[in-house]
Structure formats: C-alpha cells, structure tokens
Amino acid sequence: MADQSVFAKLPAYIQDGLKKVASEHGFTDGVYRFEFEDGSSKGDGFMGELFKVFIRENGREDMVILCKTLPNHEIRKQYTISLFNREVEAYNEVLPLIKKFQLDKGIKENSIEGFWSFPKSYYAYCDMRKLEGLIIMEDLREKGFRMWNKLEPVNFDHAILLMEQLGKMHAVSFALKDQQPETFEKFKRFSDPLSQLIMYDPTKGMTRMMNGTCERAIEAFGENDILYKTKIQSVRGVTTDLYIEDAKADEAEPYAVLGHGDCWVNNMMYCYGGENLTPTGIRLIDWQLCRYGSPILDLMYFIFTSTDEKLRADHYEALLSTYYKSLAEHLERLGGDAKRQFPESEFKKQLKRFGKFGMLISFLVLPVICTPNEETPDIEKQMELAKKAKESGVENLDDKKIFSKTEKSDAMFQERMRGIVKDVVRLEYL
C-alpha cells in the first residue's frame, strides 16, 4: 500500500521504480506503504530534484531511500537530460564494474584498501526520448554522512581524505584498461558532458557565464598586479574553448581514466566519529559529469574550487603526493604497476598540461560556491530569459553576475578567485 495522496501524483515510471525497489527488498505487496518528505534544500543541486521515501511495513525495519528525478521545469529538464543519463550510466555500468573488479581481486567490500566511496544505488533509469529519469539510492544521512558548508574552504583533513580516494578510483581505471581492455573500451566514449552542453547550447549561456566570470577575475586585481592581470587576460573570451580542449581524453592519453568529473565540495559527503571533527569516511555523490579524461582534472577541480590559497601554500605538495601514493599502492593491489602505467614523471607532465583546468572550472563553479543557498538566483527564470533573448536575436545578455551578487558574497568570490589565479601563475600552469 502507499500514501495515495502523494504516490498517485507521481509519474508512472517513478511509481514503477519505487514498487520494484520495495519488491526486491522483500516488502509484502499490498501491505507496505510509502511515506514522503523533501530531500534537499534550495541551492543544493541544479541537475535534479530530490525527495526522501520511507518504505514501511508493520513488523519490520523501515527502508529509507533517496529519489533523484529530473527537474520539473521544462527548459531545465531538456538542458539536463543528457547529464542525468550520464549519472544513470555511472550507477548502472561504471560503479558496478569498479565494485566487481575489486571484489574479483580479493578486496573486501567497504574495506579501507579499496575504493567504495559512492552511494549504494537500488534503481537507475533514464529515457532521453521521453525526458524521464529516476535514481533511487541509499540516504547517506541515515548513516551519519553530511555535507560540508560550501561557503567555507575545506581543511586539510577533509582534502587529504579525498586525495586518497581519488587515487584509488583512478587506479581501478588504470588496472581495467590494462587487464580488461575490451571491457573498458566502451567507457572511452564517456566524453565530457559539460563540453557537449557548451558546444550545443543555442543560448550560449554557459559560455557567457564563464567569460563573464573571467572578466570579474580580471577586475579582482589592481593596476599594480601587472603579472596576474596580464596572465588572466590571456584567457579572456576563450575560457570555454580552453575548457573543452583540456577535457578531451585524447589530450591525456595514454593516461586518461574514468573520473568523477564534478569534484567540488557540494558533491561529496563526510562522516565523523562521535564529536570528532576529523572525517572518517567520504562518499562521492552526483556522478552526472563522470567522464573519461586526464586524472588531473578531478584533482585540480577540487583543489582550486574547494580549498583556499593558504591551504594550497601549506599543503599543495602533500595533497599531490598523497594522491599519487594512494594510486600507486592500490594499482599494485590490483595487479598493476604505477611505474609502468602512470610514472611519477608523467604525472608531473600532466599537472603542467592540465593544471590550469582548476582555474577554468572555477569560472563556472566559484560564483555558485560563494553564494549562500538563500541567495541562490532563480535559475529557471534565467534560462527562460536566455531562451527569449536568443529567439529575439539579443546576444548581449549580462551573465557576469548571476551568482555571488551581494557585497559579502562578491568579496568572498574576489578573495578566493585572486588566490586561484595567483596559484595557477605561481605553479606555472598558466
């Protein structure tokens, strides 16, 4: 049984998915019931809507699940359907393969030796033609996981934990490419979904937004900051071109891997032991940008968007060495050899080649990070305005300041963006 006041209003494909999960977990047809509540807050996600479901039956423990669906807004739905489909592919194909490969190698599930830092998925479905999509997964909050406050740069303990997990995740890719090339081959088609959006969006909204943020970055430096101002001006007007070039897997071969793709702090959850503020576990969520490309992209994305200049000054090399050590050790556990498959010298070359990606993706993500949830703009309204402008031939919409518009959030943006540009220049990535 279900709460008909809510359940009956759901599309048939969502009803079918919920009933399938209930059946597969032994709930008695005609006896169990569904109860619903909202699953996220404003500003938590752009790609879909979340709601929480309790599957209840007298005499047994509740099952608590989280449902992710496409946005209701028609333009957003059309805009994000390809990203939603990629996340479904990640849950149906990529993550099960990662899990099976490690188990076959004798690595126990949820052991510290393996990469298990992703939510359990019970059901994932997408029909791009019908504009339907549903992912049903465990609610990590029930296991004590919680999100970091995106307005605060992460500290060293949180950053180092992610570096360890990214190393293990990328190691699985290197091992699969080497030992099961035919199985892995199909995942080489996982090109960067964001690049596709940039190239084929008729409104050019993302291009305008990234170029607009670049202009804000230039304005963040004074006239005396000649070096930084000159360097950042070199990417003026071509931010998305450079982004697309960096995201190409061909540019990274033979060292391309399957990466998370959307590796900023809002797309991960941490758990802690008791009152201790040192994280003991992490889960990577929101796999809609899962892609085949340089392993450096995940690193630079997180390090430059989610840490600050001081942490990078103190710990940048430690973060990189922890990542590489974790990758090498896990690759050896999986029967591989980092010296052959991803030598440290090649790791350093990839850093030089793709290091500026951290700044490029910041042009898209940092304004969002610096915007408190309660100040999140009406994205649907912005998309409608962009569509109308395109239809009427208007090409000069001002997308420079959709996010981080208040004085406080703008000051936060400028401080962190200055740090990003200075570090990219200092490290000779730009």
The CATH number for 10's domain is 3.30.200
pLDDT of residue 44: 46
Mean pLDDT in residue range 138-163: 96
Q: Is the pLDDT of residue 43 over 90?
A: no
Nearest to 263 by CA among 238, 295, 240: 295
Parent domain of 16: 6-138
- Tell me: do 46 and 63 sit in the same domain: yes
Same domain, 245 and 375: yes
pLDDT of residue 191 exceeding 90: yes
Domain shared by 19 and 62, yes or no: yes
More confident residue, 72 or 229: 229
Residues 166 and 121 in one domain: no
Which range, of 20-29, 233-242, 399-408, averages the lowest pLDDT? 399-408
How far is the C-alpha of 201 from the C-alpha of 166, rounded, in Å?
31
- Residue type for position 8: A
Picking from 85, 120, 138, the residue at the C-terminal end of a domain is 138
Structure tokens given for 373: 């949830």
pLDDT (0 to 100) of residue 46: 47
Counted domains in the chain: 2
What integer pLDDT is reported at residue 4 of this predicted model? 63
Q: Quick check: 48 pLDDT over 70?
A: no
pLDDT given for residue 72 in this prediction:
86
Judge if 134 and 149 occupy the same domain: no
Same domain, residue pair 77 and 177: no
Q: Choose one of 87, 115, 138: the last residue of a domain.
A: 138
- Does residue 1 form part of some domain? no
- Classify residue 19 by burial, with Cβ atoms within 10 Å: 0-12, 13-18, 19+: middle
129 and 246: one domain? no
CATH code assigned at 273: 3.90.1200
Instruction: Please indicate, yes or no, if residue 191 is contained in any of the structural domains.
Output: yes
* Residue 150 confidence class, pLDDT cut points 50, 70, 90: very high
Indicate whether 221 and 119 sit together in one domain: no
- Domain membership of residue 365 (yes or no) is yes
Q: Do 160 and 236 sit in the same domain of this protein?
A: yes
Query: DSSP string covering 2-51, please?
Result: --HHHHTTS-HHHHHHHHHHHHHTTPPTTT-EEEEEE---TTS-SS-EEE
State whether 129 and 228 are in the same domain: no
Is the pLDDT assigned to residue 398 strictly greater than 70?
A: no
- Lowest-pLDDT range, 69-78, 122-131, 154-163, 360-369? 69-78
Residue 151 per-residue DSSP state: T
Q: List the beta bridge partners of residue 233.
A: none
Report which residue type is found at 273. Answer: G
Band (pLDDT 50/70/90 cuts) for residue 103 is: very high
Q: What integer is the mean pLDDT of 363-372?
A: 94
The reply to whether 108 and 155 lie within a common domain is: no
In the predicted model, is pLDDT for residue 113 greater than 80? yes
pLDDT band at 325 (very low <50, low <70, confident <90, very high): very high
Higher pLDDT, 43 or 410: 410
Q: What's the mean per-residue pLDDT of the chain?
A: 91
* Last residue of one domain, picked from the residues 107, 138, 169: 138
In this prediction, residue 276 carries a pLDDT of: 76
* 387-414 mean pLDDT: 68
Sequence-separated (6 or more) residues with CB below 8 Å from residue 243: 194, 195, 198, 210, 357, 360, 361
